[in-house]
Structure 1
């Protein structure tokens, strides 16, 4: 991404902060993350990392549409998909959490990781988000893949550790 896109992405993300100027100053001076309000410009669908990484891989297969902003928390082993605010939607699944209005999300700046948080797909500054339909299909497909893989990984490891 070139610098004007980074600037747009910073502006777009910081708009969700209580004080956007303060948020940008904190990012500029390397203090890590900012707490941003969910439910106004975007919600976050937080899923276990294996499910999220597989779903993101499915989403990358559409050559016409890059996935929306996607954040990984490497310590909590969760992937967060940024999608349009929707207080009515019901996301169901093992370990799936819908973070919306009234919640806060720790977010690093779009141009670098901060501690345990990093962007798998940084925001592009245009306001592009994950479309709920394709995201749901990708999560279903990823869930199916994990269900197929689960019995294999449940077997005891052989003498060589595999």
Structure 2
């Protein structure tokens, strides 16, 4: 990610913070390079186990050029797919945690290494999100591929 792309991504993410300027300053000062951002404004996050997340991302990238942002936590045990706001309140998938309005997400600074949470697919700053219907189909295919002999 180049400097202009990182700035656009930071601006897009920080726009959901109660005080975007304070958010940017916190990102700069925080030695871990992370901030808490509220879900449910511009995006929700669907969180799956890493064992399912990586195959799901593989399926998605075969179908579309670029999915929305995807986070991975410490040790790649969980992955979070950024989807349109409101998705969390309607999601009915087993084994999927949904973070929407009223929840906060640990978010790393785009384009900068952090000590744990990291971007697998960084935000592009344009608001690209993963279509939840497409994500659901990719999840089903990833489960089927894992179950195949």
- Superposition TM-score, scaled by structure 2 size: 0.91
Q: Tell whether the 8 Å contact from 2:89 to 2:100 is kept in structure 1 after alignment.
A: no
Aligned to 2:136: 136
Q: Secondary structure at the match of 2:79?
A: strand
Q: Tell whether the 8 Å contact from 1:113 to 1:119 is kept in structure 2 after alignment.
A: no
Aligned to 2:46: 45
Aligned to 1:20: 20
Deviations 1:42-61 (A, max 9, x none): 00000000101000011111
Q: Tell whether the 8 Å contact from 2:34 to 2:114 is kept in structure 1 after alignment.
A: yes
Note the aligned Cα RMSD (angstroms): 1.6
Query: Which structure has the bigger radius of gyration?
Result: 1
* CA displacement at 1:93 relative to structure 2: 1.9
Aligned to 2:84: 84
Matched, 1:126 2:126: yes
* CA displacement at 1:76 relative to structure 2: 6.7
Q: Distance in 2 between matches of 1:57 and 1:91?
A: 22
Q: Distance in 2 between matches of 1:138 and 1:84?
A: 16
Q: When the two structures are aligned, how many residues end up with a matched partner? A: 147
| Unaligned runs of at least 5 residues, structure 2 | none
The structure where helix makes up a greater share of residues is 2
Deviations 1:111-142 (A, max 9, x none): 12322100000000000011111111111101
Matched, 1:108 2:108: yes
